[in-house]
Amino acid sequence: MSFRSVIEPGKERPCTLLICGKGGVGKTTVAAALSLYLSKQGYKVATISLDPARHLGSVYGVRLSEELKEIERNLYAAEIDVEKVIRKHLESIVNTIKSTYRYLTALNLDRYIDVLRYSPGVEEEAMMEYMASFMNREEFDVIIFDTPPTGLTMRILLLPTIYLTWLDRLIDIRSKIVGYREAIERLRGRRVELRDSILEELLRLRERITSVRSWLSNPESTRLIFVVTPELLPIDEAVRCREVLKSVGIEVMGVVVNKVVPENLLSKVPLFKQQRECLNIVRKYFQNIPIVEVPLLERDIRGFEMLSEFVKYLLS
């Protein structure tokens, strides 16, 4: 399998590329370069930066906002405002709670949004929902996510599996409660099948999260690409993440080794000497998937012209 086949969509639309890796390795550059290449191939592409650092616009050399805008023919881009995404998500949760637990409407739930904002798991849940909102955007051929730092990305990708474990248990408990209530009604001589809005909401949620998990673990719809530099820490992180993600059915599909120092310079700088060892580790651990190497270039990559040059290394 070639790296090109990892990035080009198959039959399923949209095809999502997740560009992951440690800070500073070149995720945003790779995401921007691939988006430009694919849009030039005639695919309609949306690139979204999920990184709070909001760096994507400066790599393209254009101003971006939270709304997708066409910055080049077939190429749409946006940088999310993480705080707004979280707030919107919490508002939708509060609305669901209000309509599910009607007796809570007396309580001013909106007041709690500020507190909920800092609850554990809220950021990853909001981000997962945001990403999943693109899963049916069939007007795009490719969606590219420039992901936030690895720790958060991992928690987002693991969330559907964790969520489903909880939901199964909660559905079990709630079904029992509804069963007991029905039994009591029968003892009173009434034959009823109770409609329970909480159980319905839990079942609806399970269906949705199951589809998010299938979307993430189906290589036709989602492809995870790791970017590393030829240094021990980024590689170590990629190897560990691969193992963890594998356990929830998400496979790493390709690896970009970025900022590879040319051979003739290796002996000149002591730090570069470990590059060969690092490249061997990458080749060993990712031997069954495409690996591409991009050299350390003379300067930062900015603007469409430099991105077009950069992409040649990815596809050579």
Ligand X SMILES: Nc1ncnc2c1ncn2[C@@H]1O[C@H](COP(=O)(O)OP(=O)(O)OP(=O)(O)O)[C@@H](O)[C@H]1O
Chain contacts with ligand X (rule: CB under 6 A)? 21, 23-29, 51, 53, 55, 258-259, 294, 296-297, 300-301
- Least distance from ligand X to the Cβ atom of residue 38, Å: 17
Closest residue to Mg ion, Cβ-based? 28
- Least distance from Mg ion to the Cβ atom of residue 150, Å: 12
Distances (CA, A) of 111 to 87, 117, 152, 167, 243: 12, 11, 27, 26, 41
Of 120, 121, 116, nearest to 90 by C-alpha is: 116
Kindly state whether residue 28 participates in binding Mg ion, applying the rule CB under 5 A.
Answer: yes
- Least distance from Mg ion to the Cβ atom of residue 27, Å: 5
Decide whether 109 or 143 has the Cβ nearer to ligand X. 143
- Least distance from ligand X to the Cβ atom of residue 105, Å: 43
Decide whether 4 or 54 has the Cβ nearer to Mg ion. 54
Residue 4 tokens read as 């090109």
- Least distance from ligand X to the Cβ atom of residue 167, Å: 32
- Selected from 4, 40, 54, 55, the binder of Mg ion by CB under 5 A is 55
Q: From CA 84, how far away is CA 126, in angstroms rounded? A: 10
Q: From CA 316, how far away is CA 314, in angstroms rounded? A: 6
Which of Mg ion, ligand X, none interacts with 296 (beta carbon under 5 to 8 A by kind)? ligand X
Decide whether 54 or 98 has the Cβ nearer to ligand X. 54
Which of Mg ion, ligand X, none interacts with 294 (beta carbon under 5 to 8 A by kind)? ligand X
Which of these segments, 9-17, 52-60, 111-119, 269-277, binds Mg ion (CB under 5 A)?
Answer: 52-60
Type of residue at 231: E
Type of residue at 169: R
Which of ligand X, Mg ion, none interacts with 132 (beta carbon under 5 to 8 A by kind)? none
Which of Mg ion, ligand X, none interacts with 25 (beta carbon under 5 to 8 A by kind)? ligand X
- Least distance from ligand X to the Cβ atom of residue 82, Å: 13
Which of ligand X, Mg ion, none interacts with 297 (beta carbon under 5 to 8 A by kind)? ligand X
Decide whether 109 or 127 has the Cβ nearer to Mg ion. 127
Which of Mg ion, ligand X, none interacts with 121 (beta carbon under 5 to 8 A by kind)? none
Which of Mg ion, ligand X, none interacts with 232 (beta carbon under 5 to 8 A by kind)? none
Decide whether 55 or 137 has the Cβ nearer to Mg ion. 55
Binding site for Mg ion (CB under 5 A): 27-28, 51, 55
